[in-house]
Amino acid sequence: MNRKVIFWAVITALGGFLFGFDTVVVSGAEQAIQKFWQLGDFQHGFTIAIALVGTMTGAFAGRMPAEKLGRKAALMIVAVIFLVTSLGTAFVNNWYLFVILRFIGGLGIGASSVIAPIYISEISPASFRGRLVILFQFNIVLGIVVSLLSNYIIVTSYHGSWRLMLAVMAVPSLLYLILLKFVPESPRWLILHKSKYDEARTTLQLMNADGYEQDMKNIIDSKNQEVKDATSENLFSKRYRKLAWLAFLIAFFNQVSGINAILYFAPSIFTLAGFDKSDSFSASFYLGLVNFAFTMLAIFLIDRAGRRKLMMIGSLGLIAALGLVSYCFHLQESHVAVAGANGVVNNTDGGYIIWLLMAYIAFFAVSQGAVIWVFLSEIFPNQVRAKGQSLGSFTHWTLATIITFLFPAVRTHVEGQYIFMFFCGMMVLQLLFVWKLMPETKGKSLENMERTLTMH
């Protein structure tokens, strides 16, 4: 594999680190933030969810700078957003300004979920594309782990300063902004949107010295074919309708698995299961480590086993894990399990929930967590790739926003067994989706998939 391509992909994928860090860092700060501003349940949920509203907006609008300014320039804008909002949220004293900055930070997360996978997909050879695009997910998970570790250190050593928790992200944000200067523009964007053939040829030659002329020809042929089709840029035309549905469904099932609810509110879930505050934070960190380890496994498997097989295995595992977590909460809530005097599960019962949630995270990481960004970035033709990625990301973050906003109230009024049974039922539907509808994309060039997946 070309070292330059790996280098560019690794740098670009660091946007996923900021994505993951910013997404989860608030899980350690949310209770302190609620206390600092004396927020009610609605304001509390709104403070957490507003970042997801920004993320949803960024996912929808992220394609615009990616198409107009280029993938590289758009990523640099994202880095600036992360830098400014991490420092801003750490130092403001006004709740309204804090909420506005949370929204702007969400724009960066949403845009990065569109732009970074597209860029990596467009510079990657077909045989390694899955492993390179999955670096984005790997960095999301790494960001989550580092965020959980950072929160744990701050809780135990710095009196739980929520401002310090949020300020830490300024360091990797600045590093990302600097490193992006060493990344070239996507040659596919240069050809398709700017017709800069010489500049594109130079980058393609660095990517593939032996086959760059053929790569160039394939991209130009794809562009010419799109020009012939009057509806080439209408994502919901008959030609792309199947792909649009695939993008929507994989993003839909990603979120109704419950992953964001579990990651965002892991300490609260463990408290519900009978753990004290310190143990809840350490248990949340262990979930992050499992996520990290199994995402590494997915990097090894995705171009060998393929996307579809990983999704099948993951769906079965998620169904089992979520069903058993639901059953454990059923035992707790019906007092069939051995309970303490206060009516919560004892440490042994809580231990079962920890292990089951670790299994849940493992199956998610090796399937949905690994596959979604790869699949979204490769199924759409060159001309509508940014729009297709935006559709998937927008669906993903819209559902994440709804679930995160509702979850604090739901966990107060709905028993845990029913919450996890709902997620389990959704994974049964996901299994049917993968079995009946999801195509395999491993080892196929982007231009070849355009010929086989689109309807003419």
pLDDT of residue 178: 97
Whether 314 shows a pLDDT value over 80: the answer reads: yes
Give the tens place of pLDDT for each residue, 7-33.
Answer: 999 999 999 999 889 877 887 788 788
pLDDT of residue 158: 65
pLDDT of residue 336: 44
More confident residue, 281 or 92: 92
Q: For residue 341, name the pLDDT band (cuts at 50, 70, 90).
A: very low
User: What is the distance, to the nearest Å, from the Cα of residue 346 to the centroid of all Cα atoms in its chain?
Assistant: 34
DSSP string, 389-400: HHHHHHHHHHHH
What's the chain's average pLDDT?
Answer: 85
Q: For residue 151, name the pLDDT band (cuts at 50, 70, 90).
A: confident
Distances (CA, A) of 241 to 114, 142, 251, 381, 437: 19, 35, 16, 12, 13
Handedness of CA 432, 435, 439, 443 (dihedral sign): positive
pLDDT of residue 153: 86
Give the tens place of pLDDT for each residue, 56-68.
Answer: 899 989 889 998 9
Whether 444 shows a pLDDT value over 70: the answer reads: yes
Distances (CA, A) of 228 to 161, 221, 224, 232, 279: 59, 11, 7, 8, 61
User: What is the distance, to the nearest Å, from the Cα of residue 19 to the centroid of all Cα atoms in its chain?
Assistant: 7
Of 96-110, 297-311, 319-333, 399-413, least confident by mean pLDDT is 399-413
> Is the Cβ–Cβ distance between 396 and 59 less than 8 Å?
yes
Give the tens place of pLDDT for each residue, 378-422.
Answer: 888 877 888 899 999 899 888 887 887 788 788 778 887 888 999
The rounded distance, in Å, linking the Cα atoms of 189 and 118 is: 10
Secondary structure letter of residue 381 according to DSSP: -
pLDDT of residue 410: 83
Whether 120 shows a pLDDT value over 80: the answer reads: yes
Q: For residue 227, name the pLDDT band (cuts at 50, 70, 90).
A: low
Whether 331 shows a pLDDT value over 90: the answer reads: no
Q: Residue 408 is which amino acid?
A: P
pLDDT of residue 272: 62
Of 47-51, 339-343, 414-418, least confident by mean pLDDT is 339-343
Whether 280 shows a pLDDT value over 90: the answer reads: no
Give the tens place of pLDDT for each residue, 243-252.
Answer: 999 999 999 9
Give the tens place of pLDDT for each residue, 365-376.
Answer: 999 998 998 999
Domains of the chain: 3-183+229-453 (1.20.1250.20)
| Burial of 80 from C-beta contacts in 10 A (0-12 / 13-18 / 19+) | middle
